[in-house]
Amino acid sequence: MTSLQNSPTLHRTLLHNTSPQKHVTSRSSRRDAISFIVKAAQESFACLTSQDRSGRRQVITIGTTAPLVFLFNQHSYSFAAENKKGYLPVLDTKDGYSFLYPFGWQEVVIEGQDKVFKDVIEPLESVSVNLIPTGKQDIREFGSPEEVAQTLIKKVLAPPNQKTKIVAAKEQDIAGKAYYQFEFIAQAPNYTRHALSTVSIGNGKFYTLTTGANERRWEKMKDRLQTVIESFKIFDV
């Protein structure tokens, strides 16, 4: 698979987004802006969505514990362990983000994804983080939560042959930074996935964290998955 760094589409994205410009507020301009992000993201999400379609783990497991590539801060780890039992922390000081994931999930490698953890028994229970370079400064430059959710779900987060439905979409302000959170359902011929996503912008990147579970396990998992979404934070690096 061609890497995102070598993608001509991504180069056009960077060229477009890093050009000096005023804030864009028109609806058509917002659609144009987010379409660049979508084109760059589609390739990197292809492996993850194809894996979900098959329902099998077509990935390389590299360990049952948090690997050395994660840079854990001892204080952050203790704080998370004390306040969120049943979760493990991820602190990425290179790309500037952190989150919690349920204890027992394993890290797997999927090309194009920055981080992926998943349950080895229930393959639809997972969390993934994706990063796309952008020249935008605020997620609101791409439109409303509903507009961004609709575009990402239909173009990136679910295969085109799946029926999708947005359950809810909202904006949150965390420490002065805007995050969009949305809940959606993606229905395939042999399964239905209920998912949560949060997106934001920082450090010149468009961040997307998505987690979910099989619909039949949603009631059991929804609170745990909500904790994962709420724990996602971006910080300056």
pLDDT tens-digit readout, 197-213: 999 999 999 999 999 99
What average pLDDT does the structure give for the chain?
77
If one counts every other C-beta atom within 10 angstroms of the C-beta of residue 79, the result is: 12
Q: Rounded to 5 degrees, what are φ and ψ at 194?
A: -105, 125
User: How many other β-carbons are positioned within 10 Å of the β-carbon of residue 204?
Assistant: 15
Question: For position 42, what pLDDT does the model report?
Answer: 52
pTM reported for the whole predicted model: 0.71
Q: Does residue 4 carry a pLDDT above 60? A: no
- Block residue for tokens 């204890």: 103
Domain residue spans of the chain: 4-234
Closest CA to 51 of 184, 206, 158, 185: 158
pLDDT at 232 over 60: yes
229 three-class SS: helix
Contact 204, 191 (CB under 8 A): no
- Burial grade of 28 (CB within 10 A; 0-12, 13-18, 19 or more): exposed
CATH number at 4-234: 3.40.1000.10
| Residue-wise pLDDT tens digits, 37-66 | 555 555 444 444 444 444 433 333 333 333
